[in-house]
Chain A
Amino acid sequence: MKRAETIDPRRGVAEAAARVAGRASRLLGRGAGSSLPGKVLLALAPGYLNAAAQRLRSGVVLVSGTNGKTTTASMLRAMLAEAGLRVMGNPSGANLRQGIATALLDGPAADIAVFEVDEAVAADVGTRMEARLLVLTNVFRDQLDRYGETETVAALLAEAARALGPRARVVYNGDDPLLTGALAAAGVSGLPFGLRLADPGAAAAASVGGEPEVCPSCRRSLSYRHRTLAHLGDYGCSCGFAPPRDAVIGEVTSLDGLQGSHLRVGDREHTVPVGGVHNAYNAVAALVAARELGVEPEVAGAALARFRTRFGRAETFRFRGADMVLVLIKNPAGADAVLSACATERDVGAVVVAINDGIADGVDVSWIWDAAFELLVPTGAPLIATGRRAWEVALRLKHAGRAPAHTSTDLAAALEHAASLSESRKVLVLANYTAMLEVRRLVAGSRRAVFADAS
């Protein structure tokens, strides 16, 4: 039962102060103002997340995991909106406590909220907001200087699931042995999902980007009947450890580069308008979560078919006369999925790889050596290295088999160079988090509203 809403003068003051802080922050050019107001708000009203969650009639859904948080949450919001619910969330990906508080402060009146949440704060945010559903996407190594070891992250997510208690449902990726093992160890049962590829193609062998394929239960080597992406798939161990039998399985019937894929779930065909196996996983996760929240499958499917990407998930824009596609890469497994999709793209005029080393990126960028940049070489397109770590990218590309045509730590110069080389073919821009934000700012600054779906 929801508590009756009481008027809390302290909260009103806190909200006002937070709004002022947000406006001040934007005026001072300190950023988009997505975290500061929330920081002020939580300092003045520590119970804000709980109080704000109580105002949402249909509750709170959280999405966590290494890869796919933003896209899965965004797909799920579209499905819930299609079903007629008023939905809010944190689409820009500000997924720590203060980012979620800011989203609640600035967001419209809503029936339900779908937030992506950072792995480290998932348990805390989930219990504060009494989340009714938690979606767990996967666990890959990512920003080891920030998060620590993958086993730790899997345990954090399992703890988040456990802490929500029996009233909440947990939708999770049963193809991920680390995640499945951690949930089993925490005694959490949930609604697993999985994926099968009609054409396993490049996913036939173990990849460098995947996690070590070791049984989380007995530490023997896992064997795979089917691989989808990195260490995800239909695994098994002689001790009996295997994917959950009751998983909802999506079958990828076709993959079309960065453009999209087709997916069969049960007897229903779905169009996923964002490319790569990773996005097929995101789509299945969102479909299972939507069904659990009472959205009819045809309604969810219609929303999925019209889904528009945002925030650097294969966003298209024009810059200096060239069509560019901006794709986020931030860890080996996610980058491999993107690079495989890029490898099948036609008419590529240039590929820009932009790697920064901000705190949000991880200050250690050695993961680029575990990502298969070799896949870019057969595209034949000139490569351009940029970002704060442009020279390490250049070195990585040299060892991948093609030294860059141009290397510059100046992102604007690099994009201009790419446009000049593109000969009216498209430019692929692969960027990690803060580099992606910088590209968006640059483009927005040079000509407003060139993004189809700018926030």
Chain B
Amino acid sequence: MTSLRIVHLYPALLKTYGDRGNVQTLLDRARWRGIDASVTEVGLDDDLPQCDLLFMGGGTDRIQAVVAADLQRLAGPLRDAVEGGAVVVGVCGGYQLMGRAYEAADGSMLEGLGLIDAETRSGPGRLTGDVVGRGRLMDRDFDVVGFENHGGRTILGAAAEPLIRVQRGNGNNGEDGGEGAVQGRVIGTYLHGPVLPLNPDLADLLLAMALGRDGVDELGPLDDAIERRAHDEHRRRRIPRTARSDAPRGRLRWARRVLAAARRRAG
């Protein structure tokens, strides 16, 4: 196949964390290889066109409720698309809605698509910070970096596998070391960054699956110097404490910091 039809689900509603960058990456990495790739945006009340890869990003709880109500209309066509060979990628809210059910922070339950054997419950506080991990798709290991920021805790059922094993960060629920999910051709992850520009290996694996290639090597190489460097820098970085800068701090801590600054000056 020399063409790739991408569908971006609800881009005007689910666009909280640079999700557009994921679609842009899939589109560009296909085009850079001479593949005739296109993106169709599907919104409220739109029909699902024929496609090879579907992407859905995340939104706030209020917006996800709007999407969840409309999404049931597309549940059948989406299932047909997957059975027909399409790859489905969900990030954060998109991932949550691909599971069976999602509980919002206010306790309300949203029905999911059931494409992934998973359930998401609301948990105390948000899981926020950098994530580093490693996964395997199409018999190929890949390293992943990203940023997570989610209140929901996702538990996978027997039919789904985690997308990656977390080396740093929380992942699906902060407990079992798994991040994201793979169930056949349906892939979900909590990772932002956005995840695909920063992780070209994962992006290419998804492209290879969507294009029906036997392995990622069939895609041919690209000049990924900037991609590799961005990935490596992200992996290396140590983010500052995520506490708000006006969080109450002890006067003792302040004194210690002044002393430390004085020592740095002296030495």
**A96 close to B149 (CB less than 8 A):** no
**A96 close to B245 (CB less than 8 A):** yes
Asked if B112 is at the interface (CB within 8 A of a chain A CB), the reply is no
Point out the residues of chain A lying under 8 angstroms from B129, CB to CB. Answer: 363
Point out the residues of chain A lying under 8 angstroms from B192, CB to CB. Answer: 364, 366
Point out the residues of chain A lying under 8 angstroms from B229, CB to CB. Answer: 391, 394, 407
Task: Specify which of A360, A367, A403 is in contact with B18 (CB 8 Å cutoff).
Answer: A367
Task: Specify which of B128, B149, B194 is in contact with A369 (CB 8 Å cutoff).
Answer: B194
Asked if A396 is at the interface (CB within 8 A of a chain B CB), the reply is yes
**A366 close to B17 (CB less than 8 A):** yes
* Contact bitstring A393-404, B, C-beta under 8 A = 1, else 0: 011101100010
Which residues of chain B from 176 to 216 have any CB-CB distance to chain A below 8 Å in the complex?
192-194, 197-198
**A370 close to B18 (CB less than 8 A):** yes
**B245 close to A388 (CB less than 8 A):** no
Task: Specify which of B12, B16, B126, B244 is in contact with A213 (CB 8 Å cutoff).
Answer: B12
Asked if A278 is at the interface (CB within 8 A of a chain B CB), the reply is no
Asked if B258 is at the interface (CB within 8 A of a chain A CB), the reply is yes
Which residues of chain A from 362 to 411 have any CB-CB distance to chain B below 8 Å in the complex?
363-364, 366-370, 388-392, 394-396, 398-399, 403, 407, 409
**B21 close to A399 (CB less than 8 A):** yes
Q: A45 CA to B126 CA in the complex, in Å? A: 33
Point out the residues of chain B lying under 8 angstroms from A388, CB to CB. Answer: 237
Asked if A208 is at the interface (CB within 8 A of a chain B CB), the reply is yes
Task: Specify which of A98, A363, A394, A399 is in contact with B239 (CB 8 Å cutoff).
Answer: A363
**A151 close to B62 (CB less than 8 A):** yes
Asked if B109 is at the interface (CB within 8 A of a chain A CB), the reply is no
Q: A213 CA to B62 CA in the complex, in Å? A: 12
Q: A145-B149, A221-B44, A364-B17 are in contact. Are A403 and B24 (CB under 8 A)?
A: no
Q: A212-B15, A213-B12, A396-B21 are in contact. Are A369 and B62 (CB under 8 A)?
A: no
Point out the residues of chain B lying under 8 angstroms from A206, CB to CB. Answer: 12
> Which of A5-13, A22-30, A169-177, A447-455 lies on the face that meets chain B?
A22-30
**A366 close to B28 (CB less than 8 A):** no
* Contact bitstring B53-68, A, C-beta under 8 A = 1, else 0: 0000001111101100
Asked if B246 is at the interface (CB within 8 A of a chain A CB), the reply is yes
**B21 close to A366 (CB less than 8 A):** yes
Point out the residues of chain B lying under 8 angstroms from A221, CB to CB. Answer: 44
Q: A97-B246, A120-B244 are in contact. Are A39 and B254 (CB under 8 A)?
A: yes
Q: A388 CA to B240 CA in the complex, in Å? A: 12
Point out the residues of chain B lying under 8 angstroms from A144, CB to CB. Answer: 16-17, 149
Q: How far is the CB of A161 from chain B (nearest CB, A)?
A: 20
Asked if B233 is at the interface (CB within 8 A of a chain A CB), the reply is yes
**A145 close to B128 (CB less than 8 A):** yes
Asked if A219 is at the interface (CB within 8 A of a chain B CB), the reply is yes
Which residues of chain A from 137 to 162 have any CB-CB distance to chain B below 8 Å in the complex?
141, 144-146, 148-151
Q: A118 CA to B244 CA in the complex, in Å? A: 12
Asked if B234 is at the interface (CB within 8 A of a chain A CB), the reply is yes
Counting chain A residues whose Cβ lies within 8 A of the other chain, the interface size class is 35 or more
Closest to A390 in B: B233
Q: A403 CA to B229 CA in the complex, in Å? A: 14
Point out the residues of chain A lying under 8 angstroms from B233, CB to CB. Answer: 389-392, 409
**B197 close to A359 (CB less than 8 A):** no
Asked if A305 is at the interface (CB within 8 A of a chain B CB), the reply is no
Closest to A215 in B: B66
**B13 close to A214 (CB less than 8 A):** yes
**A395 close to B227 (CB less than 8 A):** yes
Interface residues contributed by chain B, number (CB under 8 Å) = 54
Task: Specify which of B25, B193, B241 is in contact with A359 (CB 8 Å cutoff).
Answer: B241
**A30 close to B258 (CB less than 8 A):** yes
Closest to A397 in B: B226
Asked if A107 is at the interface (CB within 8 A of a chain B CB), the reply is no
Q: A438 CA to B251 CA in the complex, in Å? A: 28
Closest to A388 in B: B237
Q: How far is the CB of B10 from chain A (nearest CB, A)?
A: 9
Point out the residues of chain A lying under 8 angstroms from B24, CB to CB. Answer: 369, 399
Point out the residues of chain A lying under 8 angstroms from B230, CB to CB. Answer: 391-392, 394-395
Task: Specify which of A98, A149, A391, A399 is in contact with B25 (CB 8 Å cutoff).
Answer: A399
Closest to A152 in B: B60
Point out the residues of chain B lying under 8 angstroms from A398, CB to CB. Answer: 226
**A357 close to B239 (CB less than 8 A):** yes
Q: A358 CA to B242 CA in the complex, in Å? A: 9
Asked if B147 is at the interface (CB within 8 A of a chain A CB), the reply is yes
Asked if B74 is at the interface (CB within 8 A of a chain A CB), the reply is no
Point out the residues of chain B lying under 8 angstroms from A370, CB to CB. Answer: 15, 18, 20-21
Asked if A85 is at the interface (CB within 8 A of a chain B CB), the reply is no
Closest to A120 in B: B244
Asked if B261 is at the interface (CB within 8 A of a chain A CB), the reply is yes
**B21 close to A28 (CB less than 8 A):** no
**B60 close to A151 (CB less than 8 A):** yes
**A359 close to B63 (CB less than 8 A):** no
Point out the residues of chain A lying under 8 angstroms from B128, CB to CB. Answer: 145
Point out the residues of chain B lying under 8 angstroms from A389, CB to CB. Answer: 233
Q: A212-B12, A399-B25 are in contact. Are A364 and B194 (CB under 8 A)?
A: no
Point out the residues of chain B lying under 8 angstroms from A325, CB to CB. Answer: none
Closest to B22 in A: A369
Point out the residues of chain A lying under 8 angstroms from B1, CB to CB. Answer: none
Point out the residues of chain A lying under 8 angstroms from B158, CB to CB. Answer: none
Q: How far is the CB of A387 from chain B (nearest CB, A)?
A: 11
**B59 close to A212 (CB less than 8 A):** yes
Q: List 15 A-B contacts (CB under 8 A).
A: A25-B258, A28-B262, A98-B246, A118-B246, A213-B12, A214-B13, A214-B63, A358-B240, A359-B240, A359-B243, A359-B245, A369-B197, A391-B226, A399-B25, A399-B28
Residues of B within 8 A of A (CB): 11-21, 24-25, 28, 44, 59-63, 65-66, 126, 128-129, 147, 149, 192-194, 197-198, 226-227, 229-230, 233-234, 237, 239-246, 251, 254, 257-258, 261-262, 265
Residues of A within 8 A of B (CB): 24-25, 28-30, 35-36, 39, 43, 96-98, 118, 120-121, 141, 144-146, 148-151, 206, 208, 212-214, 219, 221, 357-360, 363-364, 366-370, 388-392, 394-396, 398-399, 403, 407, 409
Apart from A391-B233, A394-B226, A399-B28, what 14 extra A-B contacts exist at CB < 8 Å?
A28-B261, A96-B246, A144-B149, A145-B147, A212-B60, A212-B63, A359-B241, A363-B240, A369-B18, A369-B20, A389-B233, A392-B193, A392-B233, A395-B198
Closest 9 CB pairs of A and B: A369-B21, A369-B18, A366-B18, A391-B230, A149-B60, A96-B246, A212-B13, A363-B239, A28-B261
